[in-house]
C-alpha cells in the first residue's frame, strides 16, 4: 500500500492486543476483508518468562481452541493451575477451589500475554482475508452515516463498513465515537515480577487479601511464580526502590511464608489500576471491545477474559448476520452484541470494586464480615459453585 493511498476493508480492528487479535481470528470464518492495526509487534518469545501474564479461564480457552490458536500457545509455553487458594490476612477466612472436585483437569492456565498474542497473530498471518498492519499508528477517525475512515500517522487512509475499537484504555476509536470512559483510579499500582519460592507452588493460584491490597502468586510451568501485588502509590514507590533481597523479604512476609521464603526475584514493573465502564458499546458501523470498553481491578484476573468473550460474541453476531445476508454492521445488529455482553462486564466490574473495598481496609467490622463470609462460602455448595462458575467464565 503506498503512502496517502486509500484501502477498503469490510472490518478494521483498531488494536492488535489480546482482544483485537481474538476478534480477527474469530471473524476469519466469515470471509470478510479485515485489517488489524497496531503500533507495536508483540514481544518476541524469550527464555525468561515475560512479566505480563494472564490467568486464562476455561471459557477463553475454548475460544482459543476454536480459532486454532491454543495448540500454538501450548507449544510456546502455558502453565496449568488446578487449584485456587484465597485467604484474608487479617483473620481466619479462606476459600479453596479444586478442579478435581469439579471433575475438571484444570481451572485454567497462566499464559504470558505475548504468547497469547503470538499464537493468535500466527493465525491472522495465515489468513488470506486479513491484513496485519504493523507498525501503524491510528491518528484519527472520520465518521459519517455513509462512511467510516481511519487515518494513520503515516498518511495512509483506510475505510470500512465496521470499525472495532480494541485499542485499550486510551482508545482513539472510543474518543471518535464521543463516548467517555470515566476511569476511576484506585490510587494503587500493581507490581509484577517472577519469583522463585522455597516450596513448590502445587499448581495452585494463591491469593492473599491484605489491608494494603491483594497479592497473587500464580504458578508457572518451570516451578516459579508470577506475582501481582497491588499497593498504594507510596508503598509501590518504596517497594520498587528496594534491592532484590529486601524486596524478596517483604514479599515473603506479606505472603505469610506460605511457600517459604522468596529466593529469586526478576526485574519488576508497576501498572496503574483503575476501573470504569462505558455506557454504550456500539454505534452504526462502530463497536468497542475489551479494555476500550471496560477496565476492572486485576484481583480476580478477569480483564482479558472479559475482552476475549466480547470478541467471541461480536464475531458471532457479525457472522450470523453476514451468513444470512443481513446488515451485519448496522446498529440493530451490533446492539445484540452490546445486550449480550454489557450486563456480565458491569457485574464483574462492580463485584471487583466491592471486593477491593471489602478487603482493602482493616475496619474490625468488615474484617469480621469477610472472614465469616469466606468461610461460609467455602462450606456452602451452591454459592461456591456460583463463584467458581464465574471464575471459569460461565461453565
**Among 14-22, 246-254, 345-353, 368-376, which window interacts with ligand FAD (CB under 6 A)?**
14-22
Q: How many CA atoms lie within 13 A of 281 on its CB side?
A: 27
Query: How far apart (Å, rounded) are the C-alpha atoms in residues 279 and 294?
Result: 10
Out of 301, 352, 359, 370, name the contact with ligand FAD by CB under 6 A. 301
Query: How far apart (Å, rounded) are the C-alpha atoms in residues 20 and 310?
Result: 10
What is the CA 264 to chain-centroid distance, rounded? 27
Going from the C-alpha of 238 to that of each of 51, 79, 111, 270, the distances in angstroms are 20, 31, 29, 12
Tell me how far, at minimum, the Cβ of 59 lies from ligand FAD, in Å.
11
Q: Which of residues 190-209 bind ligand FAD (CB under 6 A)?
A: 190, 192
Spatial neighbors of 153 by CB under 8 A, at least 6 apart, are 136, 137, 138, 139
226 binds ligand FAD (CB under 6 A): no
Out of 305, 322, 333, 367, name the contact with ligand FAD by CB under 6 A. 305
Spatial neighbors of 46 by CB under 8 A, at least 6 apart, are none
By C-beta, is 16 or 367 nearer to ligand FAD? 16
Which H or E element spans position 277?
A: strand 269-277
| Site track for ligand FAD across 321-360, x = CB under 6 A | ----------------------------------------
172 binds ligand FAD (CB under 6 A): yes
Task: Answer whether 210's CB lies under 8 Å from 52's CB.
Answer: no
| Site track for ligand FAD across 32-71, x = CB under 6 A | -----xxxx-------------xx----------------
By C-beta, is 322 or 341 nearer to ligand FAD? 341
Residues near ligand FAD, by CB under 6 A: 15-20, 37-40, 54-55, 137-138, 166-168, 172, 190, 192, 228, 271, 290-291, 298, 301-305, 307
Amino acid at each position: 500500500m503506498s503512502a496517502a493511498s486509500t484501502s477498503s476493508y469490510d472490518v478494521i480492528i483498531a488494536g492488535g492486543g489480546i482482544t483485537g487479535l481474538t476478534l480477527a481470528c474469530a471473524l476469519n470464518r466469515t470471509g470478510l476483508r479485515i485489517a488489524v492495526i497496531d503500533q507495536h509487534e508483540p514481544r518476541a518469545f524469550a527464555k525468561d518468562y515475560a512479566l505480563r501474564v494472564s490467568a486464562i479461564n476455561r471459557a477463553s480457552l475454548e475460544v482459543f481452541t476454536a480459532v486454532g490458536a491454543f495448540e500454538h500457545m501450548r507449544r510456546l509455553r502455558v502453565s496449568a493451575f488446578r487449584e485456587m487458594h484465597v485467604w484474608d490476612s487479617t483473620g481466619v477466612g479462606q476459600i479453596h477451589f479444586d478442579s478435581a472436585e469439579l471433575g475438571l483437569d484444570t481451572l485454567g492456565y497462566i499464559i504470558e500475554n505475548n504468547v497469547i498474542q503470538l499464537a493468535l497473530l500466527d493465525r491472522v498471518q495465515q489468513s488470506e482475508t486479513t491484513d496485519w498492519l504493523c507498525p501503524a499508528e491510528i491518528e484519527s477517525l472520520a465518521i459519517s452515516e455513509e462512511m467510516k475512515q481511519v487515518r494513520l500517522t503515516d498518511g495512509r487512509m483506510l475505510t470500512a463498513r465496521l470499525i472495532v475499537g480494541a485499542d485499550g484504555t486510551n482508545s482513539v476509536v472510543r474518543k471518535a465515537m464521543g463516548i467517555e470512559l470515566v476511569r476511576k483510579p484506585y490510587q494503587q499500582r500493581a507490581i509484577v515480577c517472577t519469583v522463585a519460592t522455597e516450596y513448590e507452588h502445587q499448581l495452585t493460584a494463591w491469593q492473599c487479601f491484605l489491608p494494603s491490597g491483594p497479592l497473587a502468586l500464580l504458578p508457572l510451568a518451570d516451578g516459579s511464580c508470577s506475582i501481582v501485588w497491588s499497593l498504594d502509590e507510596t508503598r509501590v514507590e518504596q517497594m520498587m526502590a528496594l534491592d532484590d533481597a529486601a524486596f524478596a523479604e517483604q514479599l515473603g512476609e506479606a505472603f505469610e511464608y506460605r511457600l517459604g521464603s522468596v529466593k529469586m526475584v526478576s526485574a519488576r514493573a508497576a501498572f496503574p489500576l483503575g476501573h470504569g465502564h462505558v455506557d454504550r458499546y456500539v454505534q452504526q458501523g462502530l463497536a468497542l471491545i475489551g479494555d476500550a470498553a471496560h477496565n476492572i481491578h486485576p484481583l480476580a484476573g478477569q480483564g482479558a477474559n472479559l475482552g476475549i468473550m466480547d470478541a467471541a460474541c461480536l464475531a458471532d453476531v457479525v457472522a450470523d448476520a453476514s451468513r444470512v445476508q443481513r446488515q451485519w454492521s448496522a446498529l440493530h445488529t451490533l446492539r445484540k452484541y452490546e445486550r449480550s455482553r454489557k450486563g456480565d462486564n458491569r457485574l464483574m466490574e462492580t463485584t471487583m470494586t466491592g471486593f477491593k473495598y471489602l478487603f482493602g481496609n482493616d475496619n474490625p467490622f468488615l474484617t469480621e464480615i469477610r472472614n465469616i463470609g469466606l468461610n461460609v462460602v467455602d462450606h456452602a455448595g451452591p454459592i461456591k459453585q456460583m463463584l467458581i462458575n464465574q471464575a471459569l467464565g460461565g461453565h
